[in-house]
């Protein structure tokens, strides 16, 4: 008798256009350079293929994880069960018409910001250094230097967990700081339409370079990381709080809370996901004790890591499920 994983792999193999791999090392596909293999990794080039893929996964109830740039995820040391998907090919297209720009979900913010700036369209410059795809940016309402993706978005095309396609306006998304309703209901942003304003191309490109230089100077370099580990609580900064707790330079295994920025954890070379999670829990506990503030992850904890986090913080003294 065919095992469930083999049955799923056979059904996915019938979907045209999918590029399927098994037991694929995920540490090379994320900026932390941490994590074990994916049972099944699929590269998806079209919306039709994605809809069919999600329908099959929904029917089989297999675990599923979308992986974009891998710049905001922590992958378990044992890897991820089920299916991990990446958007490729058609999802990397960009089209411009007057002040409106359509971008596929796999286009990076850096690419679309620089491209539109060179065309004399302004608005995306502050987001040019945010390490995300367009789809990920809409999903989480990415923001930087006073600009959030919602400020420029006209609409987003979303494929739901059942494979159905819907169009979402900014109002539908209910965007807040690093948050949208998509994070509760699920769905994959496959494209987005933005409206920008005319600007001076040379000035726009110079602003991108200036803001990127400012961002790079504030973050540690030389070791793999994912940028901010925690969301900033209202009216304050997670990095400042962690610094005030004296945790900069704290190490666990091969991971370290950066001595340059308290809200960044770096991989010193052989860090495990368990090391990073341990530092996150230590930082959260210290900030809760000193400031009575519960820090919440900005990094996406995939697979078993999310359950481990929730179980630990619920068990901690005075810790609750309230999210800031």
Q: Provide the CATH number for the domain around residue 84.
A: 3.30.43.10
**Percentage above 90 pLDDT, the chain:** 83
CA distances from 285 to 56, 241, 280 (A): 41, 11, 9
Q: Provide the CATH number for the domain around residue 301.
A: 3.90.78.10
One domain for residues 146 and 197: yes
Residues 145 and 185 grouped into a single domain:
yes
What DSSP line would sit under 39-80, residue for residue? EEEEEE-SHHHHHHHHHHHHHHT--EEE-SSSSSEE--TT-E
Q: How many CB atoms lie within 10 A of CB 113?
A: 26
8 A C-beta contact, residue 14 and residue 206: no
Contact between 224 and 266 (Cβ < 8 Å): yes
Residue 324 lies inside a defined structural domain of this protein:
no
Contacts with 104 (C-beta within 8 Å, 6 or more apart), sequence order: 87, 90, 91, 92, 93, 94, 134, 135, 190, 191
Number of domains in the chain: 3
Phi-psi region of 323 (alpha: psi -120 to 50; beta: other; left: phi over 0): beta
Q: Examine the domain organization and report whether 242 and 270 are in the same domain.
A: yes
* pLDDT of res. 233: 94
Same domain, yes or no: 235 and 199: no
Given a cut of 90, whether residue 2 has pLDDT beyond it is no
Q: How far is CA 72 from CA 44, 157, 280, in A?
A: 20, 22, 14
Please tell me whether residues 182 and 238 are part of one structural domain.
Answer: no
Could you report the per-residue pLDDT of 59-94, keeping only the tens digit for each? 889 999 999 999 999 999 999 999 999 999 999 999
Predicted confidence band of residue 322 (pLDDT cuts 50, 70, 90): very low
Q: Quick one: 106 and 28 in the same domain?
A: no
Tokens representing 10 are 């056979």
Are 280 and 188 members of one domain? no
- Tell whether 108 and 210 lie within a shared domain: yes
CATH of the domain at 176: 3.30.465.10
Residues 242, 267: one domain? yes
Determine what percent of the chain is predicted with pLDDT higher than 70: 96
Q: Give domain status of residue 323, yes or no.
A: no
Specify whether 59 is located in the same domain as 117.
no
Tens digit of each residue's pLDDT (9 = 90 or more) over 125-171: 999 999 899 999 999 999 988 899 999 999 999 999 888 999 999 99
CB 184: neighbour CB atoms within 10 A?
8
Asked if the structure places residue 238 within a domain, the reply is: yes
Q: How confident is the model at residue 219 (pLDDT cuts 50, 70, 90)?
A: confident
Q: Which of 90, 118, 135 is the last residue of a domain?
A: 90
Choosing from 62, 90, 118, the residue where a domain stops is 90
Which carries the bigger pLDDT value, residue 219 or residue 132?
A: 132
Domain match, 178 and 228 both: no
* Cα distances (angstroms) measured from residue 312 to each of 96, 120, 168, 277, 318: 47, 50, 35, 10, 12
User: Would residue 133 count as lying in a domain?
Assistant: yes
Q: Give yes or no: residues 149 and 264 share one domain.
A: no
Whole-prediction pTM: 0.89
Domain that residue 205 falls in:
93-216
- Among the candidates 191, 216, 241, a domain finishes at 216
Q: Give the lowest-confidence range in 6-10, 129-133, 281-285.
A: 6-10
User: Which residues are the active-site residues?
Assistant: 178, 228, 298
Is 18 among the domain residues? yes
């Amino acid at each position: 008798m065919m095992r469930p994983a083999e049955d799923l792999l056979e059904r996915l193999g019938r979907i045209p256009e999918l590029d399927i791999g098994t037991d694929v090392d995920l540490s090379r596909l994320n900026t932390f350079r941490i994590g074990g293999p994916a049972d099944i990794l699929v590269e998806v080039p079209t919306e039709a293929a994605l809809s069919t893929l999600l329908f099959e996964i929904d029917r089989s109830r297999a675990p599923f994880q979308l992986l974009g740039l891998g710049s905001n995820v922590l992958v378990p040391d044992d890897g991820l069960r089920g299916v991990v998907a990446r958007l490729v090919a058609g999802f990397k297209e960009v089209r411009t018409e007057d002040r409106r720009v359509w971008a596929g979900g796999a286009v990076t913010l850096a690419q679309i910001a620089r491209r539109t700036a060179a065309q004399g369209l302004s608005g995306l410059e502050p987001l040019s250094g945010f390490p995300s795809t367009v789809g990920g940016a809409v999903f989480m309402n990415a923001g930087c230097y006073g600009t959030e993706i919602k400020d420029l978005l006209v609409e987003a095309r979303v494929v739901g967990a059942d494979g159905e396609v819907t169009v979402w306006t900014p109002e539908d998304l209910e965007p807040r700081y690093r948050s949208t309703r998509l994070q509760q209901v699920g769905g994959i942003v496959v494209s987005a339409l933005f409206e920008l304003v005319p600007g001076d191309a040379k000035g726009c490109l110079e602003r991108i370079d200036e803001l990127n230089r400012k961002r790079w100077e504030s973050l540690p370099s030389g070791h793999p990381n994912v940028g901010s580990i925690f969301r900033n609580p209202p009216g304050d900064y997670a990095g400042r709080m962690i610094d005030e707790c004296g945790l900069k330079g704290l190490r666990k295994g091969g991971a370290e809370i950066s001595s340059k920025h308290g809200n960044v954890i770096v991989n010193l070379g052989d860090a495990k996901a368990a090391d990073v999670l341990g530092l996150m829990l230590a930082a959260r506990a210290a900030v809760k004790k000193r400031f009575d503030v519960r820090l919440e992850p900005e990094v996406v904890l995939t697979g078993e890591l999310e359950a481990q986090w929730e179980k630990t913080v619920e068990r901690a003294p005075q810790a609750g499920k309230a999210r800031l």
